């Protein structure tokens, strides 16, 4: 059966093919290994195979794993962040993908001031409008970013979204295209501490159209850690 190393090699081949189709390079896309419920030894195996970015959904789970996982990779918070966890999140994570409200942004600013830290983050956008998903609505994005641009401790590097599940990944291509178009619109505003160099979108089932539409970060879990999985 394929090992984690085999899965990563296959995944990289498919990412590179999608990048080439859109006139990009493999180096333009970072794999964020989604490690929710994945034990530390498997995370270490993925890091040993060359992955440099770990994505966790929960602050507590990341805290327990970070103590035992080999040092080196960058840690990304890819799940929803509650304001009362902001103090711990800014110390644990190198990147927070899920800033989705002014109240959360202010909480991060306050905690970053106390800790004398700078928070590198993305703003999560709920493109699909699903009630089960977090994120600012597309029509409120610019308003939120204008307010966040006044916060001296937050550097926004781009946008994140989660597409709805679809049997055919082509069905969610418009979600990824809309996020890219939003980023292009925001970039023209030249807001302080706001840049649109990162698009975090695409997971194991739909990363190829996401890359073709401009993803710079793809959040991949099952395609890495489930042995025997065919990455379609």
Average pLDDT, 10 consecutive residues per value, the chain (232 residues): 93 97 96 96 96 98 96 97 98 98 98 98 96 96 98 98 95 98 98 97 97 98 75 38
pTM of model > 0.85: yes
Specify the pLDDT at position 152.
98
For residue 230, the model assigns a pLDDT of 41
> Going from the N-terminus, what domains does the chain have, and what CATH number goes with each?
4-225 (3.20.20.10)
Cα separation, 207 vs 218, whole angstroms: 6
The most distant pair of C-alpha atoms in the chain lies apart, rounded to whole Å, by 52
SS (H, E, C) the chain: CCCHHHHHHHHHHHHHHHHHHCCCCHHHCEEEEECCCCCHHHHHHHHHCCCCEEEECCHHHHHHHHCCCCCCCEEEECCCCCHHHHHHHHHHCCEEEEECCHHHHHHHHHHHHHHCCCEEEEEEECCCCCCCCCCECHHHHHHHHHHHCCCCCEEEEEEECCCCCCCCHHHHHHHHHHHHHHHHHHHCCCCCCEEEEEEECCCCCCHHHHHHCCCCEEEECHHHHCCCCCCC
For residue 91, give the nearest of 59, 122, 57, 58 by alpha carbon: 59
- The per-residue pLDDT for 227 is 61
- Tell me what pLDDT residue 1 has: 78
Q: Are 134 and 124 in contact (CB under 8 A)?
A: yes
Q: What CA–CA distance (Å, rounded) separates 169 from 198? A: 21
């Amino acid at each position: 059966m394929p090992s984690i190393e085999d899965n990563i090699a296959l995944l990289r081949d498919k990412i590179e093919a999608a990048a080439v189709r859109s006139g990009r390079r493999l180096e333009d896309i970072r794999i964020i290994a989604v490690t929710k419920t994945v034990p530390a030894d498997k995370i270490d195996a993925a890091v040993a195979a060359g992955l440099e970015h770990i994505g966790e959904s929960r602050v507590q789970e990341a805290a327990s794993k970070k103590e035992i996982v080999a040092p080196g990779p960058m840690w990304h918070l890819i799940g929803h962040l509650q304001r009362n966890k902001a103090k711990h999140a800014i110390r644990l994570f190198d990147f927070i993908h899920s800033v989705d409200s002014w109240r959360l942004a202010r909480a991060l600013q306050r905690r970053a001031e106390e800790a004398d830290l700078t928070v590198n983050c993305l703003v999560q956008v709920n493109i699909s409008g699903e009630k089960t998903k977090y994120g600012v609505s597309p029509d409120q994005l610019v308003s939120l970013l204008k307010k966040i641009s006044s916060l001296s401790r937050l550097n926004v590097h781009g946008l994140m979204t989660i597409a709805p599940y679809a049997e055919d990944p082509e069905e969610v291509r418009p979600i990824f295209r809309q996020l890219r178009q939003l980023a292009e619109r925001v970039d023209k505003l030249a807001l302080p501490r706001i840049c649109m160099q990162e698009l975090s979108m695409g997971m194991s089932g739909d990363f190829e159209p996401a890359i073709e539409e401009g993803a710079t970060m793809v959040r991949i879990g099952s395609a890495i850690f489930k042995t025997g999985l065919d990455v379609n």
